[in-house]
Chains A and B, each alone.
Chain A
Amino acid sequence: MNGNEWAVEMEDLVKMFGTFVAVDHVSMQVGKGEIFGFLGPNGAGKSTTIRMLCGLLTPTSGRAHVSGLDVATQPEEIRRNIGYMSQKFSLYDDLTVEENIDFFTGIYGVPKAQRAPRKQYVLEMANLTERRRSLTRTLSGGWKQRLALGCAILHDPPVLFLDEPTSGVDPIARRAFWGLIHDLSETGHTIFVSTHYMDEAEYCHRLALMYRGKVIALGTPEELKNGLTSHSLLNLESSDPLETMRALEGLAGVLDVAVFGGGLHVTVDDPASTSVRVRQSLAAKGIEVRRLEQIQPSMEDVFVAMIETEERSAA
């Protein structure tokens, strides 16, 4: 694959800390202008992968390219072509909004002619024009996070790495933040973003699901949901959820039962025939079925199902 066609490319990327394999032979590609979501539980190896792509960690083996530049041999060039937002808030609290912007403008070497317009753009994007002289310490979480994003894109990098940018931010600020990410993607920027909020996965063009250092699923949100084609999901509401669970256990065609809100999510292989059997079995036990319908699995269902499959195959 030619490096110019992909914004980010990984081939058998491995990172070991002592004997612990943090990233285990990861191979994937991210296209230009894509919003690429990186999902997985804490400790799955998402941050380690992102840090390798930013040149902050040296891969143990394998290769990775960002904007066609080799992570191992061209870290200097990569740093000029990426923006990075680490998990921890990483601006200077004791500097004002403007001073933070000026500092990053300086170290990214933004050309003189572009300095004023870029600063203006970032202030407007983060909605901080009126608070430009406030100490960063006094800003709330959502503002800080937008300022951090602004400082990471001052040099207009083609590729952006965001490591759990929305952790600890309220839902309204999170939505506004994803709006900014979309705008950036529309102007041709590639965004590589990790998160553990399932609802945010739906905002991404494509997703990779990482678990214990491995990528266990890769595709668009639709593909991942339809990836469970051998199984279907039924939403079941009954008069006695606890008894219902017992009744369904071991019933032919039922693969898994999980409590979900006030009802149950039942994973089955054939929805039509199993539905009939479920109704019969529950009627025999005197449990009233209030609702039984096939539903589209949510990202969370997909996520849990895939990790369970992975664990079963590992055991």
Chain B
Amino acid sequence: MRIAIASGKGGTGKTTLAVNLAVFNNLNLYDLDVEEPNDYLFFKPAKLDTIEVFRKVPVVNEKCNGCGICKDVCEFKAIAVIDKAMIFPEICHSCGACIYFCPEKALDEENKLIGKIIKAYNEITLTYGILEIGEASAVPLIKEVKKEIKNGIIDCPPGTSCPMVESVRDVDFVVLVAEPTPFSLHDLKIAINVVESLKLRYAVVLNKHGLPFDGVEKYCKEKGIDIIGKIPFSKEIAEKYANGMLLGEYKDLFKEIYGVIGD
């Protein structure tokens, strides 16, 4: 089973849930938050494997006569033509149109490093992507990390736009992590919209349970959405998270949450 951990709002506890769920149920863990991967901070792996990930960007060769067709077919404004074509690789989406349409065969393709996939062998196997700084789109790297996914826990990027959608697409179950604040409730509603439009099965885990706001619980009850676990608000948990430690004393809670998803 592929279980995605997502949230909408950042900082609600995706990483906490993903890491502990994977470790205490002995599952593979995948970190698709390639812009800011943090799951690896909780492990001290004995062995690492690294795979570099590239995307193709065009480069101009000496055959260019400055006709400008490449610029006309580029929807991303990644090409300017003065005497010859000039490419802005950071804006390029690697669609390949300019190369296909160039009548002079004046564009070649070159590999641009966009990030790495790292496999860390711990008590469980963690596979994560890490995006190169300055690279605008996380999606091509996320797609490559996804090819490694068998069964297990998938920690997703925050938000509800393309990186999150790419991460939850095709999974068997989505856990949305919320915290009891009006901000989190607002973003949870957007995230629910996304998973419902993708026709995915989902449930909510409430983190920092015990904070005064009860809007998330009320909303879930009203809409018939299952809350399948509550992680208490506690200084000890915050302290352990801060230091990159697992929550061994809540082992049973993470087993229980996984049990509910499995049913």
Please indicate whether A and B come from the same complex rather than being unrelated chains: no
Interface residues of B (CB under 8 A from A): none
